[in-house]
Structure 1
Amino acid sequence: MTDSPYVFEVNQHNFASVVVENSQRAPVLVDFWADWCQPCKTLTPLLTKLAQEYRGGIILAKVNAETEQALAAHFQVRSLPTVMVVWQGQIVEQLVGVQPEAAYRALIDQLLAKPGDLILEQVETLWQQGRQKQAVELLGEALKQEPDSVELKIALAEKLLQLDRGEKARVLLQSLPAEDQGRQPASGLLARLQFSDLAQGAPDLATLEVQVRATPDDYAARRQLAARYVLAGDYEAALEQFMDILRRNPQFEEGAGRKGLIAMFEMLGNEDPLVITYRRRMFSLLH
């Protein structure tokens, strides 16, 4: 017996309530065991530990196959231990014998994966294939299904920023709870919005690169190029552009080079290796 709220002794009378009903909200691992089964004495404590660790993410239902022979026969259990996984009223997996702990964890984690996780994987695949429009549309549809998902809102805002759609990204990010806005990754994306503002109406990245190479002292174009690099995720290139502005013309636009560097430091966080390197370089240049 156990006092855990996540572990139950199951028989034919309470099987429906413990297993079937609970499976509507969490995967149920039905552990068929017996006193004479030596491997069972290894497996049952392991499953109990996992049930405790996942704290309600899974339910463990223990069935003594010797005393509950009707249940064991109904589910055609022919060897012990057998673990039957029931999810939303359906048997989705059956494991015979003792498996490595990692196998049970992998199965549980797969069942507990949020629908949004799969969506994000699909979005990244589309993005890498150059299908940005489809990626954004997929995130938009996912948000209609999960309108309160912080993860999906952040993912969509990040993609919108990369597509120069800063205002839509701003609306999404500002709709997040205050505590989420104040921590990464949302706080970093909010900081990136100022670079989105800088890039608004600017030429594309390739055009700006040509322009800056042709006219190194065009600091306005160089600052726009830095903003473009930020939005493209090339943070080192962006930092280098702001360093060049600071080196060549520290007074440009009331210290735009220094301000750009500081804004990027805030966006990336103090522990980022790039921040450590460029903060030291900025200090050396200023002093």
Structure 2
Amino acid sequence: MQPRNMSMSGVVDLAAVKQAQEAKAKAEQARAEAARQGGTGAVPASSLVIDVTEAGFERDVLQRSTEVPVVIDFWAEWCEPCKQLGPLLERLAHEYNGRFLLAKVDVDANQMLMQQFGIQGIPAVFAVVAGQALPLFQGAAPEAQIRETLDQLIQVGEERFGLTGLTVDPGSDAGDPAAVPEEPAGPYDALLEAAVQALDAGDLDGAVRAYQNVLSDDPANTEAKLGLGQAELLRRVSGLDPQKVRQDAAERPADVAAQSAAADLDLVGGHVDDAFGRLVDTVRVTAGDDRNKARLHLLDLFEVVGAEDPRVTAARTALARVLF
């Protein structure tokens, strides 16, 4: 699913010359103090990814955001898309080598933070820059788009707030992925990687084939099922005219094809609840084969988002009320 808010538009509203000067002064003061005490001010690579709790949020996120952009990954153990996104963000945190800090928040253990940030579904990624929070994106996303977003975030931090990032101790490799023995490659890792690369390159047909190849041997492969659903969704909307789709859906509320296309656009745009609600309403006003087609399309979208997502659970309940 294409993530929403995958841009830095509006971030300049956070900027003020005074804030930038103060943030830069604080960072320079911290480095000067470290040098005075005989240290280099460098941090170990292992500190580039941290687990954050409600109790330590001010210290670990708000205060740190005055010297480096802090990217917050809201996740949970039961969230399948989180298991794809989390390791990617961790790898990028090490690769960017102190240009941003990754803070991981388990929403099950820190529900107050989830509420404060207005999180509606996970994975959700926010940033805090000089004490100011802004949304980055929601849902899994291609690596190329994530890199672009991080580059924009870092640029904003430098230009608007004077954030120069962290200096990483070159002698510390505790958090360096290259220093950690890699796990043996799984039987489908090459195919899954090929699918991701195809998605990044815009080759939706190639991505669909790669995921299907995995599922032909391993029908229960969760990563392949999720990826296939996302690739097929993107392929369906690739040739659509959004304005015409919206108009058709408004004029024909009982037309399953029109409502399904509009729901696909809703989902790609990150409006998950709107997509689900649209198809639940379509099931409500149709009957026979049309009702079944709407129901099946809704179930397909459930697979794209992930069965454990709370929004899927709520939509399943709504669907059951309509059907029974």
Q: TM-score range by the shorter chain?
A: 0.3 to 0.5
Q: Report the TM-score, using the length of structure 2 for normalisation.
A: 0.40
Greater radius of gyration (CA): 1
TM-score, structure 1 length as denominator? Answer: 0.44
Structure with more contact order per residue of length (Cα contacts < 8 Å, sep ≥ 6): 2
